[in-house]
């Protein structure tokens, strides 16, 4: 009996020790490991010493004994930590800041799946209930998205210039939008406009409106006249009538201007109801619903 107990303790120590360095912190090292192994990189963006949902995920997923063996069999693990009180080397601090600019995210924790070149195939922000099984299932779904994006990218490369190319690029960009991955396809809207220069594919006007919206997004928070920002967004929403998904994002931004810049909860609520009416099950529709629940 004692011999079996000692053997179990020995095996626990050996197994635990073998996973001690499973999480890399250096992005270049993770890319090299991914390239050598053929495994995609699973990224955990965390605030380890201050973020409650990050700590909850650590307790329910990453510290569980069944997580690391399953995860390291399929993925290279990279942790990007943004601590507030824990000492961190200047090299890591600068690296993580640069990566946050390259891969924008909306909150902590955020999880990315990417290939050895840093091309994203999946993104999830926030706490995920369900423990190890649910988490690995989510990552597996991200991996399936990688194949879809690769297929769409291949279709773009094979498409003839003009209308066919614009339609293939639009299909790739729309799918990336659905999965929150447009940051790595930032050149596509302009390319689509160029390929559909005569408007035959019906895409030129959409992406001109999309680009105008992004220009406004980049400047509205610095505006001196927020009522003009609302007027500009109203004009863009009218231009986007033919594209409900784009109109929904424009109206959501309008709601944020009313709420955060002009402190008008009544008008913000009205805009959020319009957003929700355009699609309650879209990511933007769900964000609008969550804000509506919080407003008095």
Per-residue confidence of the chain (296 residues) as pLDDT tens digits? Answer: 444 433 433 333 333 333 446 899 999 999 999 999 999 999 999 999 999 999 999 999 999 999 999 999 999 999 999 999 999 999 999 999 999 999 988 899 999 999 999 999 999 999 999 999 999 999 999 999 999 999 999 999 999 999 999 999 999 999 998 898 998 998 999 999 999 999 999 999 999 999 999 998 888 666 678 999 999 999 999 999 999 999 999 999 999 999 988 999 999 999 999 999 999 998 899 999 999 999 88
Asked whether residue 7 is assigned to any structural domain, the reply reads no
Examine the domain organization and report whether 123 and 29 are in the same domain: yes
Examine the domain organization and report whether 44 and 143 are in the same domain: yes
- What are the backbone dihedrals phi and psi of residue 262, each rounded to the nearest 5 degrees, phi first? -110, -5
Examine the domain organization and report whether 276 and 176 are in the same domain: no
Q: Which domain holds residue 40?
A: 13-148
Alpha-carbon distances, residue 49 vs 53, 55, 81, 131 (angstroms) = 11, 8, 9, 21
Examine the domain organization and report whether 187 and 266 are in the same domain: no
Per-residue pLDDT at 31: 98
Per-residue pLDDT at 12: 36
Per-residue pLDDT at 218: 82
Residues contacting 284, CB < 8 A, separation 6+ = 248, 249, 252, 275
Asked whether residue 186 is assigned to any structural domain, the reply reads yes
Examine the domain organization and report whether 194 and 264 are in the same domain: no
Answer yes or no: are the C-beta atoms of 120 and 145 closer than 8 Å: no
Q: Residue 109: is the preceding peptide bond cis (ω within 30°)?
A: yes
DSSP secondary structure string for all residues of 156-220: HHHSPTTHHHHHHHHHHHHHHHHTT-GGGGTTHHHHHHHHTTT-TTS-HHHHHHHHHHHHHHHHG
Question: Domain holding 21: CATH number?
Answer: 3.40.30.10
What is the pTM (predicted TM-score) of this model? Answer: 0.80
Asked whether residue 73 is assigned to any structural domain, the reply reads yes
- What are the backbone dihedrals phi and psi of residue 24, each rounded to the nearest 5 degrees, phi first? -85, 160
Asked whether residue 1 is assigned to any structural domain, the reply reads no
The enclosing H or E element of 34 equals helix 27-37
Total number of domains constituting the chain: 3
Using the 8-state DSSP alphabet, how is residue 75 labeled? -
Examine the domain organization and report whether 195 and 207 are in the same domain: no
Examine the domain organization and report whether 197 and 208 are in the same domain: no
Answer yes or no: are the C-beta atoms of 195 and 165 closer than 8 Å: yes
Per-residue pLDDT at 274: 97
């Amino acid at each position: 009996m004692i011999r079996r107990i000692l053997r179990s303790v020995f095996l626990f120590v050996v197994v635990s020790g073998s996973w001690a360095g499973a999480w890399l912190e250096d992005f270049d090292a993770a890319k090299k490991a991914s390239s050598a192994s053929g495994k995609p990189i699973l990224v955990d963006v965390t605030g380890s010493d201050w973020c409650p949902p990050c700590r909850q995920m650590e307790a329910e997923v990453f510290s569980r004994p069944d997580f690391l063996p399953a995860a390291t069999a399929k993925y290279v693990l990279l942790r990007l930590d943004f601590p507030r009180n824990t000492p961190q080397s200047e090299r890591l601090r600068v690296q993580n800041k640069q990566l946050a600019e390259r891969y924008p995210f909306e909150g902590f924790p955020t999880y990315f799946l990417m290939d050895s070149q840093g091309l994203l195939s999946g993104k999830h922000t926030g706490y995920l209930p369900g423990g190890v099984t649910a988490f690995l299932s989510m990552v597996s779904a991200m991996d399936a998205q990688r194949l879809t994006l690769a297929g769409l990218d291949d279709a773009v490369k094979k498409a003839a210039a003009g209308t066919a190319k614009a339609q293939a690029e639009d299909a790739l960009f729309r799918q990336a939008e659905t999965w929150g991955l447009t940051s790595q396809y930032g050149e596509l809207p302009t390319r689509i406009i160029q390929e559909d220069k005569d408007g035959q594919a019906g895409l030129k006007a959409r992406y001109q409106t999309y680009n105008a919206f992004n220009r406004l997004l980049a400047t509205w928070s610095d505006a001196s006249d927020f009522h003009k920002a609302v007027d500009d967004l109203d004009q863009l929403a009218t231009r986007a009538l033919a594209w409900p998904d784009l109109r929904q994002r424009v109206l959501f931004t309008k709601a944020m201007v009313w709420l955060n810049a002009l402190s008008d909860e009544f008008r913000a609520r009205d805009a959020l109801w319009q957003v929700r009416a355009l699609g309650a099950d879209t990511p933007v529709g769900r964000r609008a619903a969550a804000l509506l629940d919080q407003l008095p």
